[in-house]
Amino acid sequence: MSMNLDAIGQTWESGEHTWTSKDAILYALGVGAGAQDPLAELSFTTENSHGVTQQVLPTFVVVIGGGGGDQGPKLGDFDFSQVLHAEQSIRLEGPLPVNGRVRSTSRLVNIYDKGSGALAVLESSIVAADTGRPVAQVSNGIFVRGEGGFGGERGTSAPWERPDRPADRVVVYPTRSDQALLYRLSGDRNPLHSDPWFAARAGFERPILHGLCTYGFTGRALLHALCGSDPAAFGGMSARFAAPVMPGQDLAVHIWDDGRFVTKVGDTVVLDRGVFTRAER
């Protein structure tokens, strides 16, 4: 088994993606919108509430593009159960429409040698299919356990320090015991999040929550705490996945007013090195 180092630098068209109002609502429900108070986030969870205009959660962009698609090069010959989502960033050019059609172009930036594994970093540019207008930039890192040691670059990290004071805001969201089963309906059918047999092969006692589900919960917290719930004010966010989350656990998003954040389950950091940016529009 090995990584396909020849794929580094390759660019490919990731195809088109179309979504509807229903898809945006299903995603919002999948990341907990309305779970604590069904009346609190109606603009994201309904399309026909009186006096309420439907909006789309900014983190929905991870569903509509940026995964690389099946059209991309094969990253290597390895056991899929050893693959983990390591990091994710998004940058939006404006609020996402309720219904839309986009196309994506992706690039394999590099495959870094982390010793215990390999980190493949992909970037995608998402544009409106009909006009070519930029919609978003998405980057994600995929960690493959056991595939390091091939002598490649280790890579560098952007400077980030956790403030030496308590967070300015802490938003706590409970997740449902069936949260992963709900979130997977937005497209990520990785059996790690639903199949006990597959989860056991990856070293987990039970299926774990999707990292991007935790990311979506965190994005909701940032949207409401720092943007006044206005998607137009949401510029982007990046974070590193630090530990698995089990469906049913509570997520506590610790937010500093300068945009830094971490997400915890109890004392364990599950989303680390978080950076939020406001829109510059």
pLDDT digits (tens, 9 = 90+) for 11-30: 999 889 999 999 999 999 99
Mean pLDDT (whole number) for 175-186: 97
C-alpha to C-alpha distance for 234 and 128, rounded to whole angstroms: 19
Q: How confident is the model at residue 1 (pLDDT cuts 50, 70, 90)?
A: low
CATH code of the region 2-151+165-278: 3.10.129.10
Nearest to 60 by CA among 197, 195, 223: 223
Does residue 68 register a pLDDT over 70? no
Torsional sign, CA 16, 194, 199, 89: positive
pLDDT-based confidence at 70, cuts 50/70/90? low
Task: From 219, 12, 199, select the one nearest 123 (Cα to Cα).
Answer: 12
Mean pLDDT of 78-95: 90
Q: Which helix (H) or strand (E) holds 88?
A: strand 83-92
pLDDT tens column, 203-253? 999 999 999 999 999 999 999 999 999 999 999 999 999 999 999 999 999
Q: Give the list of residues 6+ apart from residue 281 with CB closer than 8 angstroms, or none.
A: 94, 232
Q: Which long-range contacts (CB under 8 A, 24 or more apart) does 79-84 make?
A: 79/1, 81/192, 81/198, 81/201, 81/202, 82/117, 82/144, 82/145, 82/146, 82/147, 82/202, 83/142, 83/143, 83/144, 83/145, 84/142, 84/143, 84/144, 84/145, 84/211, 84/241
Q: Just list the catalytic residues.
A: 188, 193
CA dihedral 54, 58, 63, 66 (to 10 degrees): 140
Residue 206 has what pLDDT? 96
Query: What are the structural domain ranges in the chain?
Result: 2-151+165-278
Looking at residue 169, its pLDDT comes to 97
Mean pLDDT lowest for which of 91-100, 121-130, 151-160, 198-207?
151-160
Whether 69 shows a pLDDT value over 60: the answer reads: no
Q: What's the mean per-residue pLDDT of the chain? A: 93
